[in-house]
Structure 1
Amino acid sequence: MNIGIFSDVYFPQKNGVSTAVKLYKQEMEKLGHNVYLFVPRYSHNYKRNEKNVFEFPAIKFLFEKEQRIAIPISGDIFKIKDLELDIIHSQDPFSMGILAEFLAKLLKIKHVGTHHTMYEYYRKYLPLIIRPTLKQTQKMIRNWCLKLDKVISPTENIKEVLVDYGVPEDHIVVIPTGIETEIFNKEITWNLREEYNIMPDERILLFVGRLGPEKNIDFLINVFSKVVNNEKNTKFVIIGDGVEREKLEEMVVNLSLQEKVIFTGGQPREKVLEAYKQADIFVFASYTETQGLVVLESMAAGTPVVALGKMGVYDLLNHENAGGIMIKELNEDDFVHEILRVLKDHELHKQLSENGIKFVKENYSIEVSVKRIIEVYKDVLNS
């Protein structure tokens, strides 16, 4: 099968969608399919060493420097017909998604899309003069979904949201975005403790993700300030970068935690995967996750999770043996209590670690997810 995947984000930009697209391509190619990516050019200085990736001119988004706005005009458009694509799979409704829709109609190709992101929560990044209302955003999502031949939702929770927006239930199929489980069996080569002077007897709390307001990292820092009052031999490692970094660093100084909180900035994916394995607890308080791949990755690494149970994260941690503890509401004391309980109870920590590894391997491997996506493609092509 010849598969065209269109996305407005891709590596070296680091986020869950970039990771998903890369894993889709790798696994689909393992199964013998030809996969072609259509993505924005990150920069003229960045050279890709990956076959079958078509780049389109792009400009930086003024209010989020890592984000690119693709200009879907390129000589490569004329090459697409020669690829004889069987199906198009878009990852968002924006520039590349619009191009995907245009090409699907022009070339009479079936078009599937995955709803990765709760765009309603990201309107704040747009200036007021062009910021859509909540209803306008929901209508945009609904209209995009209705133009697709099938919508893939990462979780049941997100499917329910789309149905509320007016997308027919039978137009949506739930397929979690899987992760590479075997990669966590590799030996660690990046010594996190050595690089950041973390002593052997110090416990590590970890956050991985973009430093944006919807991730609630300021909340996690406040939680950590209470944790460290009880467990002084604890450090909080924050991996990622974003618009909130300077504000968060100032907050850490104001709380006199600069010796306890470590900002590593963005890191290569290989280092991030190794960081999970070296942490004691992964903490997460985002309320916008369609699934929460970082939560899955942490559990796959055997690191227990304490996280806010909203949106996609709820669908993960709502399972009894998922390998994490779900906090129902954004309450500092509840987070502190559960973090301290996991830190102090070694049997509980061990059980959560074992549960997480088993749970992800059985339910959320990339192999399982991609096989289900391929079945969706076949169903759409035969409809």
Structure 2
Amino acid sequence: MNIGIFSDVYFPQKNGVSTAIKLYKEEMEKLGHNVFLFVPKYSKNYKRNEKNVFEFPAIKFLFEKEQRIALPISTDIFKIKKLNLDIIHSQDPFSMGILAEFLSRILKIKHVGTHHTMYEYYRNYLPLIIRPTLKQTQKMIKNWCLKLDKVISPTNNIKNLLVSYGVPEEHVVVIPTGIDVNKFNKPIEWNIKEEYNIKPNEKILLFVGRLGPEKNVDFLINVFHKIFQEEKNIKFIIIGDGTERHKLEEIVIEYSLQKNIIFAGAQPREKVIDAYKQADLFIFASYTETQGLVILESMAAGTPVVALGKMGVYDLLNHENAGGIMIRELNENDFAHEILRVLKNEELYNKLSKNAINFVKENYSIEISVQKVLEVYKNLLNK
């Protein structure tokens, strides 16, 4: 098949959507399909070493500098017809998603879309004068879904949410985003204990993600402060960057924890995987995750998880043998108690670690996910 994937997000911007697109592209190409990406151009200085990627002019989003707003104006549009696309797959309802919808109608190509993001929780990035209401955002999501020939939801929880917005249940298929488990079997090259002078007997807590308010990293810092009162041989590494970084660094200074809480900044994917494998525990308190790829990645590395069980994360950790501890609500004492319980109970820790690896391998490998997506494509093309 010739597959066109349209997205307003892709590398070098680091997030779950970028990772998912790259994994799908690589796996589909392994199976002999031709995958063409249509994404924003991030910088004149950034050169891609990747075939079949069409870049569109883009401007920085004024209120979130990492984000780009693609301008669907490019001579590459005239090349699209020659690609003989069999299917179009958009990753969001914005400028590239609008272009995907337009092309699907003009060229009479079936159009699939994946609902990656809980846009309702990101309205705060817009100033009040142009900020849509919650109902307007929900209506926008519903209308986008109805224009698609099929909607892919990463979890049942998200599917139920879309149905509550008015999207027909039969219009949505649940396919979790997969993980390339083989990448977690490679030898470690980035030694984080050496990099940050962490002693052999010190435990490492890890967070990976964008430093935005919806990720609740300030809550995790408060939890770490509680843990530190009882356990001194412990470090908290925060990988990622974003608008909240300065505020978070100030909280760390107020707690006098600069030696124990490390801001590692954004890191290449290879280094992030190495960090997962060396951490003792992954902690996460975001309430906006459609799936929580970082949860799956941590478990693929055999690192147990303590996380807030909301939205997509609930669908992962609600399983008995998932390899993680789910906290029902944002409660600092509950989080601190469970983190310490796992770290101090070697038998429990080893059980969670083993379960985590098996859970991801059996349920969330990229091979399984891609086969399910391709089945959606084939069913639409046979109609």
How far does the alpha carbon of each residue in 1:74-119 deviate from its partner, in whole angstroms, 9 at most, with x for none? 0000000000000000000000000000000000000000000000
Q: Tell me the SS of whatever aligns to 1:50.
A: coil
2:28 maps to what in 1? Answer: 28
Q: What corresponds to 2:363 in structure 1?
A: 363
CA distance in 2, matches of 1:194, 1:60: 36
> Structure 1: how far apart are the matches of 2:279 and 2:166?
42
Alignment-derived partner of residue 284 in structure 1:
284
Secondary structure of 1:49 counterpart: coil
1:53 aligned partner: 53
* Deviation sequence 1:279-304 (CA, Å, 0-9, x none): 00000000000000000000000000
Structure 2 counterpart of 1:334: 334
Partner of 1:346: 346
CA deviations over 1:7-26 (Å, ceiling 9, x no partner): 00000100000000000100
- How far residue 3 of structure 1 moved from its aligned partner, in angstroms, is 0.1
Q: Secondary structure at the match of 1:32?
A: coil
In the other structure, the counterpart of 1:127 is 127
Q: Give the Cα–Cα distance (whole angstroms) in 1 for the partners of residues 336 and 201 of structure 2.
A: 20
2:362 maps to amino acid: E
Which residue of 2 is the match for residue 196 of structure 1? Answer: 196
> Corresponding residue for 2:142?
142
Structure 1 CA distance, aligned partners of 2:119 and 2:297? 23
Matches within 5 A, 1:95-110: 95-110=95-110
List aligned pairs for 1:81-96, cutoff 5 A.
81-96=81-96
Instruction: Identify the residue that residue 312 of structure 2 maps to in structure 1.
Output: 312
Secondary structure of the structure 2 residue equivalent to 1:197 = coil
- C-alpha distance in 1, partners of 2:314/2:345? 24
Amino acid of the structure 1 residue aligned with 2:341: R
Partner of 2:219: 219
* Counterpart residue number, 1:178: 178
Give the distance between the partners of 1:38 and 1:337, measured in 2 at CA: 46
Query: Deviation digits for residues 51-90 of structure 1, max 9, x if unmatched?
Result: 0000000001111111000000000000000000000000
Q: Which residue of 2 aligns with 1:44?
A: 44
Distance 2:268 2:341 in 1: 32
Residue 264 of structure 2 is aligned to residue 258 of structure 1: no
Distance in 2 between residues matched to 1:381 and 1:123, nearest whole Å: 36
How far did 1:228 drift? 1.0
Q: Give the Cα–Cα distance (whole angstroms) in 1 for the partners of residues 41 and 252 of structure 2.
A: 35
Structure 2 counterpart of 1:204, which letter?
I
Deviation track 1:111-150 (CA, whole Å, cap 9, x = no partner) reads 0000000000000001111110000000000000000000
The CA distance in 2 between the partners of 1:100 and 1:242, in whole Å, is 29
Q: Secondary structure at the match of 1:237?
A: strand
TM-score (structure 1 length as normaliser): 1.00
3-state SS, counterpart of residue 206 of structure 2? strand
For the residues of structure 2 that align with 1:229 and 1:358, how far apart are their CA atoms? Answer: 34
Query: 1:137 & 1:313 partners in 2: Cα distance?
Result: 22
Partner Cα separation in structure 2 for residue 374 and residue 228 of structure 1: 48
Aligned to 1:206: 206
Stretches of structure 1 that go unaligned for 5 or more consecutive residues are none
2:374 alignment partner in structure 1: 374
The amino acid of 1:207's aligned partner reads F
Q: How does 1:244-255 map to 2 (within 5 A)?
A: 244-255=244-255
Q: Which letter maps to 1:8?
A: D
Structure 2 equivalent of residue 268 of structure 1: 268
Distance across 1 between alignment mates of 2:338 and 2:277: 20
**Aligned-partner Cα distance in 1 for 2:327–2:60:** 36
| Structure 2 unaligned spans of 5+ | none
Note the aligned Cα RMSD (angstroms): 0.4
The code of the aligned residue for 2:244 comes to E
1:297 is aligned to 2:297: yes
Aligned-partner Cα distance in 2 for 1:129–1:188: 49
TM-score by length of 2: 1.00
Deviations 1:195-249 (A, max 9, x none): 1111111000000000000000000000000111111000000000000000000
* SS in structure 2 of the partner of residue 162 of structure 1: helix
Distance across 2 between alignment mates of 1:256 and 1:348: 32
1:118 counterpart residue number: 118
Helix, strand or coil for the counterpart of 1:135?
helix
Q: Deviations over 1:23-45 (max 9, x none)?
A: 01000001110000000001111
Q: Is 2:243 the counterpart of 1:243?
A: yes
What is the CA–CA distance in structure 2 between the aligned matches of 1:256 and 1:63, rounded to whole Å? 31
Amino acid in structure 1 at the alignment position of 2:135: K
